[in-house]
Chains A and B, each alone.
Chain A
């Protein structure tokens, strides 16, 4: 590795991180505007036109705010926790391709890299939760760990299915296609420029999107920092710059999940293929890469707005519903998806067999979840309340004690 290589690496990192900072600021503005629209408010509108400078004002405020560390906190871990969450969030971006072969580092094992690095952030949340020495933080940290570890499994299995489909772990091959060999048969898998994998693997897409939401800890999966239950979860005791770093990481992760959905299921920079010319200007060659990159970023923003939209319109799940959903629905479905793609490739069936086989299963699963909702997911407390509402004045038969009710809530975990 020569000196210029190192110089280029640093320049790439610097450029990427600056771009990401701007991306994060724009995402906070976008989220507040989206939520405001959903809730029939104006949202940020004072600082700058349409409140566009609000994120900068917020950043200023957070950085200059007093940084409070609780007296009983474990100082070192308290300091390190936000860093542990933020660094992986930045590092994932090294492997994301913005154009044909354009990434800070084009990795052969890009898919595995993304999965591996994103797993470290959980430790930061646990660390922050424990170091704050507050019950709410601790509970929030444990909830975060339980949730993130559970939802990581369907994500990994779906990514594995995609790796099986393209017979490569490189994100470049996922977009540009690959020549794949299964047993004796060899075939050219066209890149996502023609058919995005969302249409090849609709079930995988749905699983990845839902599990991705859960990995972000966004509504409806924000149980680990739910205000009404654990106040702010692992972030309760944080303020000022530390808190800002946590939220920087959260928005970075939102952006990275959006980008990954675009790369894995909507063809990254290649689908629908960016125009060859605009207003008579020829865009072929290098310029196409810029157009492709802009196209990719634009699509990522669309996915991010969808995520904000879901946050604005869906209520939060309970923790037992959340875990049941991961283990009883998403993980089995992701395995079905994985086996399906393997079977389709092994018997050399055409690729449209994949959606035809998986869509009925997906629809069946949705109906099953809808039907089973009231039966298994209803906690003891709700049943007790209903019963007592119907039988006011009469003592409840076999009335459970407070401890039993509290204990029942965890039975489904």
Chain B
């Protein structure tokens, strides 16, 4: 067993345990912090897989930004005044979660991961991986990339519109 494998299993265990914590804890703020731990552990797994760029992007976007936004939303809506868990939708939520998880597993089993690299033409390992990724993103995959940013922009404007109406009451 190599050192990489041991680190991978440790990080994997951390990811799984903290993800379980996100779902099982009654305290929403604790759940948000567990989410942070899970996301950082995934970044660690990326590092073990020598995908430095992915790991740093994961830390930057999920560790730094997304968690802060989630925490912000929770803290500003003052969850302490409300009942801590919503029991009425539990069965439905479980069903949805299991369905999505099953879909993911099926997708993972059906798709041939090994041949993905040749399909996208993007080798992400080694020193040139980052450069290849950039070239791929801005040439062959430019339109999906721009679509993603468009979706984000729409979400941003939508959020601003919603917040404005609530605040001014105009």
Interface residues of B in 24-81 (CB under 8 A from A): 29-30, 33, 36, 40, 52-53, 56-57, 59-60, 63-65, 67-69, 71-72, 75-76
A112 touches B60 (CB 8 A): yes
Q: Which residues of A contact B67 (CB under 8 A)?
A: 123
B63 touches A120 (CB 8 A): yes
Q: Which residues of B contact A112 (CB under 8 A)?
A: 53, 56-57, 60
Q: Which residues of A contact B86 (CB under 8 A)?
A: none
Q: How far is the CA of A112 from the CA of B65 in the complex (A)?
A: 15
Interface residues of B in 105-151 (CB under 8 A from A): 127, 130
Q: Does A149 belong to the interface (CB within 8 Å)?
A: yes
B60 touches A115 (CB 8 A): yes
B72 touches A145 (CB 8 A): yes
Mostly, the A contact residues are: helix
The count of chain B contact residues (Cβ–Cβ below 8 Å) is: 26
Q: How far is the CA of A138 from the CA of B3 in the complex (A)?
A: 41
A119 touches B65 (CB 8 A): yes
B56 in complex: contacting residue of A74, A113, A130, A145, CB < 8 Å: A113
B59 touches A116 (CB 8 A): yes
Q: Does A38 belong to the interface (CB within 8 Å)?
A: no
B59 touches A130 (CB 8 A): no
Closest to B67 in A: A123
Q: Which residues of A contact B75 (CB under 8 A)?
A: 126, 130, 138, 141-142
B52 touches A109 (CB 8 A): yes
Given A126-B71, A149-B68, is A119 in contact with B33 using a C-beta cutoff of 8 Å?
Answer: no
B167 in complex: contacting residue of A115, A142, A152, A411, CB < 8 Å: A411
Q: How far is the CA of A236 from the CA of B52 in the complex (A)?
A: 38
Closest to A107 in B: B52
Which among A74, A115, A116 has the greatest number of chain B C-beta atoms within 10 A? A116
Seen from chain A, the residues whose Cβ lies within 8 Å of a Cβ on chain B are 1, 74, 77, 107-109, 112-113, 115-117, 119-120, 122-123, 126-127, 130, 138, 141-142, 145-146, 149, 152, 169, 410-411
Seen from chain B, the residues whose Cβ lies within 8 Å of a Cβ on chain A are 3, 29-30, 33, 36, 40, 52-53, 56-57, 59-60, 63-65, 67-69, 71-72, 75-76, 127, 130, 167-168
* Contacts A126-B75, A149-B68, A411-B167 supplied; 16 other A-B pairs, CB < 8 Å: A1-B3, A108-B130, A109-B52, A109-B56, A109-B130, A112-B56, A112-B57, A116-B59, A117-B59, A119-B60, A120-B63, A123-B33, A123-B63, A123-B64, A123-B67, A142-B72
6 A-B pairs closest in CB distance: A119-B64, A116-B60, A116-B59, A116-B56, A112-B56, A126-B71
- Could you name 29 residue pairs across A and B whose Cβ atoms are closer than 8 Å? A74-B29, A77-B29, A77-B30, A77-B33, A107-B52, A108-B127, A109-B56, A109-B130, A112-B56, A113-B56, A115-B60, A116-B56, A116-B59, A116-B63, A117-B59, A120-B64, A122-B68, A123-B33, A123-B36, A126-B72, A126-B75, A130-B29, A130-B75, A138-B75, A141-B75, A145-B68, A146-B72, A152-B64, A169-B130
